């Protein structure tokens, strides 16, 4: 079944200790949409400016992503730049230029409004609300976020948590949101804020789910070389919800496998700059890595 994804559609300039790559295709929605496209049809909602390269539009299309909800308007595309330290975990934001995002008002095409699965990828919570307001009886809604919104839009985010089925955030954000160092205690507190499923991402250490069937720990796929982890979190959540949308059965019966598929797509994302590696992957390669990961954790 199809999946609607709203989030940032960006140009990313990324610096690592070994390389520097300007103006790559990035943004939470781009990473999530490409990741999800391996499993299910995706309806993208976003905004780009006149400087958005045609080759990136072609890349979305190559992945079969529906672009009826991608606005192309006068002005500059959202531009984010960041720099990684030698350990490739610590990242510093160098610049965030909102450009056309400043006036973004995501009005959904009529045909999008009945999409059964919804991913509110990282973007201002007010925009996540606005998209949700236009949806007609979605089956399952997942929201992602970032520390910025905990700092400047906490009330909007807390209201959003009452409207979503699942909430995904990273460990430092969970700590910030709950004032709790212990992730198990933090998970409990976040459930009280609304979501039935809470997933805390822990980077190279995988992700932990708390839901009606208890706790599940999904490993990250162990990599010897990380080129650029930008978008790994978005790829994880995109792959996960894409897998859920593609399979029959209840969410509970498939969410664990879905997290493992998300982990695998995220691992490919880390092996190239921006979306370079993710866009070269095939479903067969994903399936192979899922099998390898399964063997690694079976005991």
Residue 116 — φ and ψ, nearest 5°?
A: -70, -35
Among candidate residues 69, 79, 97, 73, the one with its CA nearest the CA of residue 24: 79
Nearer to ligand AMP, 10 or 198 (CB): 10
The least distance separating ligand AMP from the CB of residue 114, rounded to whole angstroms, comes to: 26
Nearer to ligand AMP, 148 or 154 (CB): 148
DSSP string, 115-126: -SEEEE-SS-HH
The least distance separating ligand AMP from the CB of residue 116, rounded to whole angstroms, comes to: 24
Nearer to ligand AMP, 10 or 33 (CB): 10
**Which tokens is 150 given?**
């905990």
The least distance separating ligand AMP from the CB of residue 232, rounded to whole angstroms, comes to: 6
Sign of the alpha-carbon torsion through 125, 130, 135, 137: positive
Among candidate residues 98, 146, 138, 134, the one with its CA nearest the CA of residue 116: 138
Q: Is 57 exposed, middle or buried (CB count within 10 Å of its CB: 0-12, 13-18, 19+)?
A: middle
Strand positions, DSSP E, the chain: 3-6, 10-15, 20-26, 42-48, 66-72, 78-84, 91-97, 117-120, 140-144, 166-170, 197-201, 207-211, 214-218
* DSSP 8-state secondary structure symbol assigned to residue 293: H
Nearer to ligand AMP, 124 or 136 (CB): 124
Nearer to ligand AMP, 73 or 296 (CB): 73
How far is residue 159's CA from residue 157's CA, in Å, rounded to a whole number? 5
The least distance separating ligand AMP from the CB of residue 118, rounded to whole angstroms, comes to: 17
Nearer to ligand AMP, 3 or 88 (CB): 88
- Give the ranges where 21-143 is alpha helix by DSSP (H): 28-37, 54-62, 125-134
- Contact assessment for residue 125 and residue 145, using Cβ atoms and an 8 Å cutoff: yes
Tell me how long the chain is. Answer: 299
The least distance separating ligand AMP from the CB of residue 140, rounded to whole angstroms, comes to: 21
| Residues near ligand AMP, by CB under 6 A | 8, 10, 12, 26-28, 80, 96, 122-123, 148, 230-234
Nearer to ligand AMP, 122 or 263 (CB): 122
The least distance separating ligand AMP from the CB of residue 212, rounded to whole angstroms, comes to: 27
The least distance separating ligand AMP from the CB of residue 250, rounded to whole angstroms, comes to: 28
């Amino acid at each position: 079944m199809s999946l609607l994804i709203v989030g940032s559609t960006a140009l990313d300039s990324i610096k690592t200790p070994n390389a520097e790559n300007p103006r790559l295709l990035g943004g939470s929605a781009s990473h999530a949409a490409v990741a999800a496209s391996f499993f299910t049809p995706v309806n993208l909602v976003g905004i780009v400016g006149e400087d958005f390269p045609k080759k990136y539009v072609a890349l979305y299309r190559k992945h079969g992503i529906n672009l009826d909800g991608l606005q192309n308007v006068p002005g500059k595309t959202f531009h984010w730049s960041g720099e990684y330290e030698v350990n490739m975990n610590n990242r510093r934001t160098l610049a965030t230029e909102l450009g056309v995002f400043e006036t973004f008002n995501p009005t959904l095409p009529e045909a999008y409004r009945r999409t059964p699965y919804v991913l509110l990828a990282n973007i201002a919570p007010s925009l996540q609300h606005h998209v949700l307001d236009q949806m007609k009886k979605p089956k399952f809604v997942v929201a992602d976020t970032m520390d910025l919104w905990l700092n400047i839009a906490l009330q909007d985010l807390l209201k959003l948590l009452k409207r979503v089925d699942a909430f995904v955030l990273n460990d430092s954000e969970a700590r910030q949101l709950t004032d709790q160092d212990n992730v198990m205690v933090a998970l409990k507190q976040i459930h009280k804020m609304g979501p039935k499923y809470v997933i805390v991402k822990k980077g190279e250490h995988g992700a932990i789910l708390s839901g009606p069937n208890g706790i599940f720990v999904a490993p990250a796929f162990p990599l010897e070389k990380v080129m650029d982890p930008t978008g790994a979190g978005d790829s994880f959540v995109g792959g996960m919800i894409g897998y859920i949308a593609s399979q029959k059965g209840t969410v509970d019966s498939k969410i664990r496998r879905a997290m493992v598929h998300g982990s695998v797509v995220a691992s490919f994302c880390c092996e190239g700059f921006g979306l370079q590696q993710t866009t070269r992957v095939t479903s067969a390669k994903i399936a192979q890595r899922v099998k390898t990961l399964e063997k690694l954790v079976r005991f």
